[in-house]
């Protein structure tokens, strides 16, 4: 896939893949498993920390798993470092445990910064939290029975405010989408200067 204006001659030097899968577990918890993989299309020579990497071998192969309850409270957190450039990278595997008991929602990024210092963790692991959390929101968006009572239409009639209202530009309470789909939670648009 290339963007429309990417028509210049160029050489692929690096590929980063992020893959996230969301689940509803039998015990009622919502779970996401997320992976970040970095590869190069050329051979990387061995250095003092690792053996030679062939084209396509992972420079990074880092995963995380979060399990949350209905209140968006983290109940389980796990890190998996399958490939890293340095042996010290795996020392951060237990770090996400500090997030157990925290709530994902307003102030989430600040909570993460407060609980996990920049030099205590892996940059790539912290980057992976973003798509993992948004995947959890998508996983939960149609509820536990997406083909039954938890459809979007039934959420409109339930009288309960869905968790996604107020979560982005389109779902802001003073916007046209909330006004049309969930008028009971709509607010007046802010006055323009």
E-only strand ranges, 40-120: 58-68, 74-83
Higher-scoring residue by pLDDT: 150, 165: 165
With pLDDT > 90 as the criterion, what percentage of the chain qualifies?
65
In the chain, count H helices and then E strands. 4, 4
Those residues with Cβ within 8 angstroms of residue 6's Cβ, 6 or more apart along the chain or in another chain? none
Those residues with Cβ within 8 angstroms of residue 54's Cβ, 6 or more apart along the chain or in another chain? 43
State the average pLDDT over residues 140-167.
72
| Residue 50 contacts residue 59 (beta carbons within 8 Å) | no
Residue 32 above 70 pLDDT? yes
Residue 149 above 60 pLDDT? no
Residue 170 above 70 pLDDT? yes
Confidence band of 146 (pLDDT split at 50, 70, 90) = low
Check residue 163 and give its pLDDT.
74
| Residue 140 contacts residue 25 (beta carbons within 8 Å) | no
Cα separation of the two ends of the chain: 41
Residue 92 above 70 pLDDT? yes
Q: Which residues pair with 64 in a beta bridge?
A: 34, 79
Confidence band of 162 (pLDDT split at 50, 70, 90) = confident
Higher-scoring residue by pLDDT: 31, 9: 31
What DSSP character marks residue 66? Answer: E
- Overall residue count recorded for the chain in this entry: 193
Domain topology for 15-140: Enolase-like; domain 1 (3.30.390)
Check residue 67 and give its pLDDT.
98
Residue 154 above 70 pLDDT? no
Domain residue ranges of the chain, discontinuous segments joined by +: 15-140, 152-185
pTM for this predicted structure: 0.80
Question: For residue 78, which of 92, 60, 58, 59 has the smallest C-alpha distance?
Answer: 92
CA-to-CA distance for 26 and 51, rounded, in angstroms? 42
């Amino acid at each position: 896939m290339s963007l429309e204006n990417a028509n210049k001659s160029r050489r692929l030097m690096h590929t980063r893949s992020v893959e996230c899968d969301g689940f509803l577990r039998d015990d009622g918890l919502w779970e996401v498993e997320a992976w970040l993989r970095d590869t190069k299309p050329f051979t990387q020579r061995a250095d003092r920390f690792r053996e030679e990497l062939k084209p396509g071998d992972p420079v990074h192969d880092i995963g995380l798993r979060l399990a949350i309850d209905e209140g968006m409270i983290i109940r389980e957190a796990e890190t998996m470092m399958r490939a890293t450039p340095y042996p010290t990278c795996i020392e951060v595997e237990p770090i996400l445990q500090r997030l157990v008991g925290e709530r994902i929602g307003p102030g989430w990024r600040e909570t993460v910064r407060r609980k996990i210092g920049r030099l205590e963790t892996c940059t790539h692991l912290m980057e992976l939290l973003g798509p993992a959390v948004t995947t959890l929101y998508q996983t939960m968006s149609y509820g536990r029975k997406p083909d039954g009572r938890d459809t979007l239409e039934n959420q409109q009639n339930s009288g309960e405010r869905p968790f996604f209202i107020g979560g982005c530009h389109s779902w802001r309470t003073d916007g046209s989408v909330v006004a049309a789909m969930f008028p009971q939670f709509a607010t007046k648009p802010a006055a323009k200067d």
